[in-house]
Amino acid sequence: MSFDINLTTLCDHVVYRELNLLAPDQRTLQLSKPLASAAVEVFVDDNVLPSTLYSVVVDPSDNNARMILLNNRWKSPSDYFEVTYTTLPTYCSKCIGSSYLDDISYNVQGDLQTLRDEALLMQNVEKFVVTRINSNTFHTFIGTNLDGLIGSRISSVDFLTSQMITEVSKTLQKFQDLQSQYRTTNRPMTQGEILQTINSVTANQDTNDPSIFYINVSVTAASGKTLQFTQLLRMRI
């Protein structure tokens, strides 16, 4: 049996100290993303602004948005403000709506969280999909060119989704072939770790935000359990 460090952690969707300039009325701070909570922290010239000096109010131009309103006009318009707040998952620039991040996590004892069996297989599938091709010095063949597609302009949705599907399908086939070679060395692997079948790879455009694409992967482990993984990419309109 083998194991790997767990790289999946939940995203907090926190926008940390977003730089903000006062509106001409010298009272309003307009946030770039919608607020998911009224709990905010405001800094002015790197100092925390007491919460008694401002409130979170509805943006009169958009009933679904919120903004920071100072109780009184700020006397020095040259001061710079920063705001820390929590936004909605679909507007989060850290996870782009996936609600999780790839980062090392620890348990309550302070030990590294590790993965085995089907959880390990799912992380390996994700690694092969999100790793940029040629970025691994020792295994240059691992990964995809999806990283090269990020930020590219959308000219043909069908062509773009076809590219995504091809890239992911090819790398998963490589992963499956590598596992087969690994097993011939008689090294121990559990049935949950083994990629038995690549069921499907699909790609589709978000109905609300056309710049976001979802790549959906379904695989089955040798244990018989089916696993699903979704990767999000943001393109240019």
Averaged over successive runs of 10 residues, the pLDDT of the chain (237 residues) comes to 56 87 90 86 92 89 80 88 89 71 57 74 87 79 80 80 94 93 85 95 90 92 94 77
Judge whether 81 lies within some domain.
yes
Q: Quick one: pLDDT at residue 137?
A: 75
Other Cβ atoms within 10 Å of 187 Cβ, number: 8
pTM for the full predicted model: 0.58
Q: How many domains does the chain have?
A: 2
85 plus 162 within the same structural domain: no
Q: Quick one: pLDDT at residue 7?
A: 54
Judge whether 66 lies within some domain.
yes
Separation CA 72–CA 62 (nearest Å): 22
121 plus 87 within the same structural domain: no
Strands of 226-234's sheet, edge to edge?
195-205, 212-221, 226-234
- The parent domain of residue 187 ranges over 116-234
Q: Quick one: pLDDT at residue 8?
A: 60
223 plus 136 within the same structural domain: yes
Judge whether 155 lies within some domain.
yes
How far from 37 is each of 14, 31, 139, 143, CA to CA, in Å? 10, 13, 44, 38
128 plus 77 within the same structural domain: no
* DSSP one-letter string for 25-55: TSSEEE-SS-BS-S--EEEETTEEPPGGGEE
87 plus 126 within the same structural domain: no
- Give residue 67's identity as a one-letter amino acid code: M
